[in-house]
Structure 1
Amino acid sequence: MGVTEDSDYNRVTTPNYSANIENKDEVGAYVQVVIPFGGGKRERLNCNRLFNIEIDRLKAQIEKLKAEASLGDIWAQASEEQDKSIPEMITVDETRGTALFDVDGYSLNSSFTHKFNDVVFTLLDNDQAKVKVIVLNDSGLPESEELDLAEQRADSIAKYLESRGIDKSRIKVLARGNLYPVEASDTQEGRNANTRVEFIISR
């Protein structure tokens, strides 16, 4: 409604474009007109009914989301329970040149017993957990001597865990000597990687 020249509303040429419009006695409006055809009396549209239908739809959607969220919690709980049932494996080796055992070959090096702290804390936090200690070594000895050495080392580790408050009924030791190397034994780095203790914690 109202007539004006296009230049009056040009944003580039008119700096105060907004103020320019506000000062006009003109109004722009969009109008929707519905014209029924066919004659006869028509029932007035019940907006309250449409509103209630929309409310019911939204309520149903909310209930669906709640159900999905609840199902998600159930799956998350099941997944957490499953994770607890999967044994945790912690490996301590000599890959960084750290001697886990003293010069006698089987007594734990007291300077590096902190490497077993993760195992100790896990067992102390869960008094139902048990640990399987697998000792492997690569000292260049014959297989039978490697096995004897592994048994002595396993006994040292078991005693250390007991000294930290872990009941011996929760500890099982397995000496495997040089049976399962992970690296070639022709280098010191390879032998260090093969000399390791694997803890398998069952919750």
Structure 2
Amino acid sequence: MQAPPYYSAYQLKNAYEVKDGAAIAATIDYEQVRPSIQHQLTDQFATTMTKYPLIAELGGDALTQAANGFITKAVDGAITPQNIEKVINTQGQANTATKELAAAWAIASDQVDLRNLIQSLIIQRGDVDAVVKSQIQQVMKKQAAELEQQAAQGNDSDKPTLSYCGINCFAISGQVKGYPLTIEMQRQGLIQWKIVDIVLP
């Protein structure tokens, strides 16, 4: 007998509410979720870069390489069973891995002062690596404060939207601490549903 995805969605919501990080961590297919989040963020950063042709001229390739390297490292560090468990268990406390992921999202989604970055590039005589490291530190501080505020004040959806996205695909959309997220689950075998994608805002 096949297990309906609604029950898996209910179990996820329950685990989140009682801060059972281990239960949520066990439902994630990390080999699919990690590359998906990395692609979302690197694609987003590529789109952001098109808005700043001057930066692209000054050192776009080196900057893209540095940003993409940081994004990949941040996702690898944050999307692990240990970190997911910790984040769910201690809702409201952002650890280093989570702050780095938040900074990667901010960099990708044009929340970094790229005009300031041009000035820094000129001052640092084109040392892209030094400039990116300095910007990342600034963004992490800002994002850490925002994360903690969102964790304290942001709302979770009372009733997330549940829908099929294919025969063996099920989507859960809602808000987690005020951030809109869509989680895609896929049937694996007869009774198990795993999270295979998390679509970022």
| Larger CA Rg, structure 1 vs 2 | 1
What's the TM-score once normalised by structure 2's chain length?
Answer: 0.25
**Structure whose residues are more often helix by fraction:** 2
What's the TM-score once normalised by structure 1's chain length?
Answer: 0.25
